[in-house]
């Protein structure tokens, strides 16, 4: 027995290609709103500069920058997945991909 809130929405016009879904995934990881990434990146870079006592190695810098972006993106996805039933009823969050049912 499937509950209405957990049932899969039927896509109009058949299944969509992965390329047509890319903008929705970009919105899901908040790629269109990078202020959260910058807020996490600032203390990370500050700590790297202090730990290296100057400019850190470029490889380490790139690894930490990628880690900050991936961690924030994963957090956004987990939050949207957990709250998708609530986000659809809140004005500020009802346009998120999981709340709209496009992903």
How would residue 65 be classed by pLDDT, with cut points 50, 70 and 90?
very high
Helix (H/G/I), strand (E/B), else coil: 103 = coil
Query: What's the pLDDT band for 18 if we cut at 50, 70, 90?
Result: confident
pLDDT at 14: 58
**Lowest-confidence segment of 13-17, 47-51, 54-58 by average pLDDT:** 13-17
Number of continuous H segments (helices) and E segments (strands) in the chain = 5, 0
Closest CA to 45 of 70, 18, 32, 63: 63
Whole-structure pTM over 0.85, yes or no?
no
């Amino acid at each position: 027995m499937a509950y209405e809130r957990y049932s899969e929405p039927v896509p109009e016009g058949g299944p969509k290609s992965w390329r047509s879904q890319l903008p929705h995934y970009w919105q899901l990881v908040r790629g269109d709103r990078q202020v959260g990434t910058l807020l996490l990146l600032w203390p990370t870079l500050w700590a790297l500069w202090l730990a290296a006592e100057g400019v850190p190695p470029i490889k380490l810098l790139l690894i930490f920058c990628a880690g900050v972006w991936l961690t924030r993106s994963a957090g956004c996805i987990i939050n949207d997945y957990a709250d998708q039933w609530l986000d659809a009823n809140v004005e500020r969050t009802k346009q998120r991909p999981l709340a709209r049912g496009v992903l």
